[in-house]
Amino acid sequence: MIRSDIRPWLCGMLAAFFLTASVPPETEETGPTVEEPTAAEAPEKKGPRVVTRGKEASLEPEPKAEEPPATTTEIESFELKLSGSRLHFLGAGDPEAPTVLLLHGARFSSQTWRELGTIELLARQGFRALALDLPGFGSSEATETPPGRFLLTLLPLVSERPVVVVSPSMSGRFSLPVVTERPNLLAGYVPVAPAGLEAHLKRLEGSKVPTLIFWGEEDKMIPLKLGQQMSRAMTNSRLVVLEGAQHPCYLDKPLDFHRELLQFLRGLSF
């Protein structure tokens, strides 16, 4: 029989024993248990997102863009006459190097590519970069040549070899006819949510022009579904959607834009 004066003490000891036995000890090897975050809790990675690839697009890993040297590349301003109209260019790079012609959207000009650093970057990476003020924009005079015929006349004057045309937004009205009518003038095509695309989709079916399509995920002007249709129509195309970017996606995500552009250019045959 247990004496009444030690019953409280004994009950406390028994409670402590069972409480301790129910908790597994931590060891140096295991440590405390930490739950892995669920997919909903894990931080989402932002950056360029490949939405769809053409039938012949490369699936090789994407190399990082090389950092350009610290030296300054001289950008020259020059003019060219076409059908009596004066056209203004900004240019840099070896005249004998592969040519990349940079067009622009309705609210921009050749100066946009200078400010973005694209002209200097391309020249440092071994390309001849030409940024054009389209007729009636920037320092270029208006021309009577219709947009659909303009580049067909201009491209043979700026290079004896096929060139790469980078064509954002409004400039699609100038560049898309080249893809459908004179693809031999192009070493590659880089449309950025180009205007006039719907009217050219059927004629783009089966096109083999190497094409890198850019679109902003938040583009409210030209729907992304058109970019997806364009990529499916062209057999050697790749669509890159820049997450969080709007219609001029190259301005919102210049580092991602330049990295993808350089990777594309290095894989072309000029």
Active site residue 140: no
The pLDDT, as a whole number, for residue 73 is 83
Mean pLDDT of the 203-216 span: 98
pLDDT of residue 97: 97
20-38: average pLDDT: 38
Q: What is the mean pLDDT of residues 237-266?
A: 97
Which of 1.10.3720.10, 3.40.50.1820, 3.30.360.10, 3.40.50.720 is the CATH number of 78-266? 3.40.50.1820
State if pTM tops 0.75: yes
DSSP H or E stretch at residue 132: strand 128-132
Instruction: Name the residue among 80, 120, 122 with its Cα closest to residue 100.
Output: 122
Predicted confidence band of residue 49 (pLDDT cuts 50, 70, 90): low
* 219 tagged catalytic: yes
Q: What's the start-to-end Cα distance of the chain, in Å? A: 102
CA 84 to mean position of chain CA atoms: 36
Residue 169 a catalytic site member: yes
Q: What's 84's DSSP letter?
A: T
Instruction: Please check the confidence at residue 47 and state whether its pLDDT lies above 60.
Output: no
Q: Which helix (H) or strand (E) holds 102?
A: strand 99-102
Which of 133, 140, 219, 237 is an active site residue?
A: 219
Question: What's residue 6's pLDDT?
Answer: 44
Mean pLDDT of 258-267: 98
Cβ count within 10 A of residue 174: 26
Which residues fall within 8 angstroms of residue 236, CB to CB, at 6 or more apart? 54, 55, 56, 57, 207, 208, 209, 210, 211
User: Of 177, 203, 189, which Cα lies nearest the Cα of 238?
Assistant: 189
pLDDT at 34: 32
User: Among the options 88, 104, 200, 247, which is catalytic?
Assistant: 247
Which residue is catalytic, options 167, 169, 175, 231? 169
Average per-residue pLDDT for the chain: 82
- In the chain, where are the structural domains located? 78-266
The better pLDDT of the pair 20, 201 is held by 201
Mean pLDDT within 133-158 = 97
